[in-house]
Each structure stands twice: as structure tokens, then as C-alpha cells.
Amino acid sequence: MYLHTPHSAFFQKRQLIYYRDLIRELVVRDLKLLYKRSMLGVAWTLINPLLQLAVFAFVFQSILRVNVPQYASFAFSGLLVWNWTQSSLFQATGLITSNRALIRQPGFPIAVLPIVIVITGLIHFLLALPVLLMFLVWDGASLNLNFLFLPLLLLLQSLLTIGFAYPLAALNVVFRDTQHTLGVILQLMFYLLPIFYTLEQVPDTLRGVYQLNPMVALLEAYRAILIRGVNPNGFALLMLVLVIAGLLPIGYRIFKRQSQRFVEEI
Amino acid sequence: MGMTYAIVAQAVGKRYSRYHNNRPRTMMEAALAGYRRMRPIEQFWALRQVGFAVRPGQMLGVIGHNGAGKSTLLQILSGVVCPDEGRVQVHGRMGALLDLGASFHPDLTGRENVFVSAIVSGLTHREVQQRFDQIVEFAELSAFIDNPVRTYSTGMQMRLAFAVAIHNDPDILLVDEFLSVGDVAFQSKCLTRIGELKSQGCAVVLISHNVEQMQQLCDQALWLEDGRVREYGDPNPIASQFMALMSTQNATQAFHDYSRQVEVRTVRLWDRHGHPMTEICSGDPITIELEYCAHQPMQNVIFSISISDQAGQIYFNTNTATPGLTIPLDRGNGQIKLHLDRLDLRGGSYYANAGIFAEDWSTTYDYHWHTYPFQIQWTPNEQTLLYPPRSWEIRTSDSIVNVELT
């Protein structure tokens, strides 16, 4: 048994400030490294979805002639949302092997690492948001006060991603191919999500299965507030909250339990 | 358990598992191999029944051979590794000089790295800002602090890492063999800083291979052997016991490595009358005879003879190369004798040691260490190592008194 009592008198308040500072510092570090490593820096986070968008627009509008109104806004919003979750999950799964030094630091709260990864992804999302807004304006989307739901959706997506990231990171310690397997699954998931097609185009018999995927509820909610300017589906969001409420504590417990072995395994 | 101790360890044990060589490392393999291979084939205790307590302002030195469990113990104290049995209680902020500089990123500047690694080590952003100048000054890197760390030398990186680690005002400081880094001046600066922290009430746990250093610095010593506590308590007796064991082990280990082209058959000790000797008085003459056997002819060899005590401290050491002797050997046996007119060591148990070396010292043909014991008798009640012939001369206003002593 290991008991550590950091006996500062202002322990509670200081600790909250500390976690805030720690997460901010690690996020800033990741962003700085991205800036320093390439001339284009953060621009890369835009170039990738824009290129994907250009290809989708060409394939689905000029060749397959999918009839989705405001296609640029539709596909681009889907791409940004999914890229955030996809890259965060992929990175978080490998966090034990890519953060050896931090894990060996005494007293370091390893559980902040998935949070750092998701927040870094969130910042990339926010940096790309002006471009999305340009598409929305260009497509004549009905932007209105429903836009204010955006912070709520960002929070829910963050929590959902963190909830998946914890158990995956723990699993990767036992099985080193978790990250590779996950990469394949995430890539396939991209096609099984209504990113470049709409949920309505999915056959009726399969739509129910689709809606079991919490990412579908998120994608639909984002599009409701951004493109259609309507309230997100309250029931779907409530289910999403319940999924998060179940997933996050369980995932965290698994991670916490496994984290005692991290140093031995790396 | 009150707060009077900063660290309390009770019957701490850590078990490691050795797994099957082809333990599945991937899900695919696990699915094929089944659960059986996932289980460890063997378990061993890296630490067992380790207990100690360190008060604020005290320093505990941990010694032991490689693999004795010292680093595992430090990892457990730091909370990075969880003990499998027993209990560890730690009160206060933890500072650690382990893996120095590992969290530095080469592409970031010194300044950026200081912030990242100081916050990671437990300070808030504001606290780092307050200490930043101190840290940089301590590391002596003011001129380079805005350069990327990849342009730093290893020594500079270590200095910066140490400066960061030492400035988070720890209540508990864990130090793993840090003095192997940096130059001598910086090392002594680090020691001074550790001393300051200690006097401010920081509890320190130090792993050291340098037993003398541990003896100077520490209030307590913990000697680990094969993961168990061999000795725990005052550092002075533990340090000398440890050093004594080290020297005898080194000698016996090395024994088997000798090339043995020339062997030491035996060593005999003679007193002034030419009788075999096991005990002399301090100041008596002594003759040390070495009988050798050459298995092949030799151009030139060096004979070396020394006298040491049980703790391995060598008091006297001489060899045939010093007077420039050339000693060619034919195949077969022979003797060589060393006559000492006096042996002025104080009383106690000693050993005569003998070795045969190549003429350029490159090869040890044979060496007998702590094999031939003898005693020196002692009567004067004086704290001294040497007792050479001496005389007093006392001048007063009206007389001169000479007292000669033998």
C-alpha cells in the first residue's frame, strides 16, 4: 500500500490551480512543437481536412452526384468532428510509450495525459472553425442562436473521447498492437459514419444500428446547430450523456488500475 | 503513525514476474496462444520486508550491490511503482533526482523546458515564474536560456535539469546516484543545495555507490542485499562493513580470472629468528616469503607484496618494479623474500597479500588476497595507526632531557 499526503494547507485550491497549469503547459508544449517542426505548422491541421473535402466534393458531387444540400459545409463539419476524435484516440492509445519520461516522474498525474491530447485536438478544431464558418456563410447556412449549443457539444465530444481513450491506453500496455488495430478500426469507422453522406441515405433497416453509435448523435447535433440552425435532438443528447456517464468512470478505473503497472511495462 | 516522520516504510515488498519467453505481446498472439501463456512462469521478490523511517531534516543513504533493489526502492518511495506488500507512507511534496532531464524536449528552448519540467514536477505556473531566475542562475545558463536544448551539451542539460528538480521546495527528496553528472564544482554546489534543503527540514533518501560520501552526509544507512535489509542504522559501522565486504568480494571474484602462467604457491611469514610467525610485536622485523611456480619461462615479472587489515585498507604496498629489478623466470618453483626491518603498525589483525604481474602490469598472473593472516601485538593506549621509533626532547631553562623510546 502506498499513501502519499502532500500536506500543504491550501492543498485543495492549489491542486486545482496546479492541474489547470499542468494541462495548459502540456497543451502549449504540444502546439509549440507542432509550430516549430514545420514551416506550415498549424496550417497542416487545416490542409488535411480541406484536401479531403476537395476529394469528396469531386467524387460525390461530380461523379456520384449525391444530392446533399450545402455539401461543403456538411462534409467539412463531419470531417473536423471526426478527425478530432480519431486523432485523439489514436494518440491517446500510444501515450504510455510516447510519454515515458512523464510517467516516470514521481507524483505526475498520468490521468491528465488523455485530457491533454483531447484538448490539443480541441484547439486544432477551434483553429479550423473560422474556415468552417466561411463554408457555412458561403453555403447560406442558417446560423442563429442555436450556435450557442456549440460549447456543450464540444464538451460532450471531449468527454466521450476521453472516456474511450482511458481503456484503450490501458489496453495498449498489455497488447502492443492495440494502437495498430485501432488505426484500422478508426479508418473503417470513418466510412461507417455519416460524414460524407447523410443519415437519411442509410437504409431504414440499418439506421437503428447507426444510431447506437454515440458519434452519430454528435455529428447530427453539430449539423443541426451549424447548418440547419435548429435545436439538437434532445433525446439523442441525453442518451449520449448517459453513455458518457457510464463510460468515463469505468474507463478511468481501468486506466487507474493499469497505470500502476505502466512503469514496469515500458 | 504521526506526522513526525516524513517517510515510513513497513515490511515493504515488491514482486516481479518473469513471463514466458514468447508471452503474447499482441491481441492476435493472445487469441492464438490462449490464457496459459499470459501467466507468469516465475515470480521473484525484488524487495522483501524492507522497513525504515526518515524524519524531516534527516538523510538516509541506501547502499548495496547492483541488483540489490535500491532503484526499485526509490521507485516505490516515489509512488511510480506500487508495492505488493507492506506499507509506505510519505508526507509532503516530492522532489526527485531520477532520470534527470528525461522530460526535456530538444526542440524547445531552455526557458520553455524549465517551465514544462518544473510544472510537471509539481509547481504551479506562478511558482515557476517566481523561481525562474534562481533556477537559471543555479544552472549557470543565463546566456543560453533562450536557445533550443538540443544545442546544449550533456553537462548543460544535466545542470538545468538538476536546477529545476532542486527548486521545487520538496519536503522529500529522492536522489539516485546523481553525482556522476556534471563537473566537480557543480557537484559540490548541488551537495550544498541538498544540505540547505535538509536543514530546512527536507527528508532525503540518497542512493550512493560512494560509501565515504554516504558516511559524511547521511544520518542513517540502509544496506540492501538481494532485496532484503542486511543492516540498518548508523552509517559509520555499516559503511566500513560494506567496504570490507566489497574488497574481499572483489578479490575472490577476480581470483578466478588470473591467467596463472606463474602461480603463487604459498606465502610464509618469518620472525627475526627465522621461525614461522603468526604474531609479532609492533616494531619487530618481519620477512615475507613468496613461493611461486612458473609454468613457462618468463622474460621478466613483477612481484608485489602488501599488508592490509580486515576491512581491506592497505597500509603497506611494495613491488619489485620500484627498485627496477628484472626477474626472469625459468620453468619451475622458486622463492622470493621481502625483509622488513621494522613493521610499525599498531596492534590488530592483518593480512599479507602477494601477487605476480606482467612487467607492464597488463596481466595479473596470480594474486592471493586476505589469505595469510597475522597478528600484531599492541600495548600503548594510543589512537594511532603507525608506531615508529620515537624520542622526546624536553628543554627547560636549566636542563635538557632526552627520552628515547623503543
ipTM of the complex: 0.85
So what's the pLDDT on residue A245?
96
Name which of B317, B306, B375 is nearest B346 in CA terms: B375
Assess A265–B contact: CB distance below 8 Å, yes or no.
no
Q: Is residue A201 part of a domain?
A: yes
Q: Which of A2, A6, A22 sits opposite B93 (nearest CB)?
A: A6
B70 lies in the same domain as B181: yes
So what's the pLDDT on residue B285?
92
So what's the pLDDT on residue B32?
67
Measured CA to CA, the distance from residue B204 to residue A82 in angstroms comes to 49
B167 lies in the same domain as B50: yes
Which secondary-structure segment (H or E) carries A183? helix A178-191
C-alpha cell at position B332: 619451475
Sequence-distant (6+) residues with CB within 8 A of B369 are B248, B251, B252, B255, B351, B353
Q: Is residue B397 part of a domain?
A: no
Residue contact A18–B124, C-beta within 8 A = yes
Q: Which residues of B touch A260 (CB under 8 A)?
A: 81-82
Residue by residue, pLDDT tens for chain A (266 residues) are: 777 776 554 567 888 899 999 999 999 998 888 877 666 666 777 788 888 888 888 888 888 877 788 888 899 999 999 999 999 999 999 888 788 888 888 878 889 999 999 999 999 899 889 889 998 998 887 778 888 999 999 999 999 999 999 999 999 888 888 889 999 999 999 999 999 888 888 898 888 888 889 999 999 999 999 998 888 989 999 999 999 999 999 999 999 888 877 777 66
Q: Is residue A25 part of a domain?
A: no
So what's the pLDDT on residue B1?
42
So what's the pLDDT on residue B28?
67
Q: Nearest C-alpha of chain B: how many angstroms from A124?
A: 20
Residue contact B107–A14, C-beta within 8 A = no
Q: Given the C-alpha cell 508544449, which residue does it identify?
A: A29
Q: How many residues does chain B have?
A: 406
Measured CA to CA, the distance from residue A227 to residue A232 in angstroms comes to 11
Q: Is residue A64 part of a domain?
A: yes
B202 lies in the same domain as B289: no
Q: What chain A residue is nearest to B126 in terms of C-alpha separation?
A: A21
Residue contact A3–B89, C-beta within 8 A = yes
Q: Which residues of B touch A29 (CB under 8 A)?
A: 105, 108, 112, 116
Q: Which of A100, A104, A181 sits opposite B27 (nearest CB)?
A: A181
Residue spans of chain B under pLDDT 70:
1-3, 19-25, 28, 31-41, 178-182, 247-257, 405-406
Q: Could you write out the three-class secondary structure of chain B? A: CCCCCCEEEEEEEEEEEEECCCCCCCHHHHHHHCHHHHCEEEEEEEEEEEEEEECCCCEEEEEECCCCCHHHHHHHHHCCCCCCEEEEEEECCEEEECCCCCCCCCCCEHHHHHHHHHHHCCCCHHHHHHHHHHHHHHHCCHHHCCCEHHHCCHHHHHHHHHHHHHCCCCCEEEEECHHHCCCHHHHHHHHHHHHHHHHCCCEEEEECCCHHHHHHHCCEEEEEECCEEEEEECHHHHHHHHHHHHHHHHHHHHHCCCCCCEEEEEEEEECCCCCECCEEECCCCEEEEEEEEECCCECCEEEEEEEEECCCCEEEEEECCCCCCCCCECCEEEEEEEEECCCCECCEEEEEEEEEEECCCCCEEEEEEEEEEEEEECCCCCCCCECCCEEEEEECCCCEEEEEEC
User: Residue A47's domain spans which residues?
Assistant: 41-265
Q: Is residue B406 part of a domain?
A: no
Q: Is residue A23 part of a domain?
A: no
So what's the pLDDT on residue A125?
92
B174 lies in the same domain as B56: yes
- What CATH number is given to the structural domain containing B181? 3.40.50.300
- State pTM to two decimals: 0.71
Q: What is the pLDDT of residues A219-228, one digit of tens each?
A: 999 999 999 8
User: Residue B17's domain spans which residues?
Assistant: 7-248
Q: Which of A25, A100, A177 sits opposite B119 (nearest CB)?
A: A25
B281 lies in the same domain as B219: no
Scan residues 138-197 of A and list those with Cβ closer than 8 Å to B: 175-178, 181
SS3 A2: strand
Give the number of other Cβ atoms within 10 Å of residue A246's Cβ: 11
Q: Is residue B388 part of a domain?
A: no
Q: Among B248, B283, B306, identify where a domain stops.
A: B248
Residue contact B25–A25, C-beta within 8 A = no
Q: Which of A7, A22, A104 sits opposite B92 (nearest CB)?
A: A7
Report CA torsion sign: B302, B303, B305, B311: positive
B240 lies in the same domain as B323: no
Please count the structural domains in chain B.
2
Assess A12–B contact: CB distance below 8 Å, yes or no.
no
A16-25 burial code (b ≥16 CB/10 A, e <16): eebeebbbeb
Bridge-based pairing of strands B203-207 and B59-64 is: parallel
B218 lies in the same domain as B289: no
Q: Which residues of A touch B108 (CB under 8 A)?
A: 29, 32-33, 36
Q: Which residues of B touch A266 (CB under 8 A)?
A: none
Q: Which residues of B touch A3 (CB under 8 A)?
A: 87-90
Give the number of other Cβ atoms within 10 Å of residue B394's Cβ: 9
So what's the pLDDT on residue B2?
47
B117 lies in the same domain as B218: yes
Q: Is residue B100 part of a domain?
A: yes
Please count the structural domains in chain A.
1
Measured CA to CA, the distance from residue B162 to residue B97 in angstroms comes to 7
Residue contact A1–B79, C-beta within 8 A = no
- What CATH number is given to the structural domain containing B344? 2.70.50.60
DSSP state of A75: H
Do B168 and B118 contact (CB within 8 A), yes or no? Answer: yes
Measured CA to CA, the distance from residue A108 to residue B122 in angstroms comes to 8
Residue contact A264–B124, C-beta within 8 A = no
Q: What is the pLDDT of residues B252-304, one digit of tens each?
A: 544 456 777 888 989 999 988 888 888 888 888 999 999 999 988 888 899 99
Angle among Cα A256, A259, A264 to the nearest 5 degrees reads: 160
Q: What is the pLDDT of residues B364-388, one digit of tens each?
A: 888 888 889 999 988 777 788 888 8
Q: Given the C-alpha cell 536546477, which residue does it identify?
A: B163
B128 lies in the same domain as B241: yes
SS3 A203: coil
Residue contact B92–A29, C-beta within 8 A = no
Do A92 and A168 contact (CB within 8 A), yes or no? Answer: yes
So what's the pLDDT on residue B286?
93
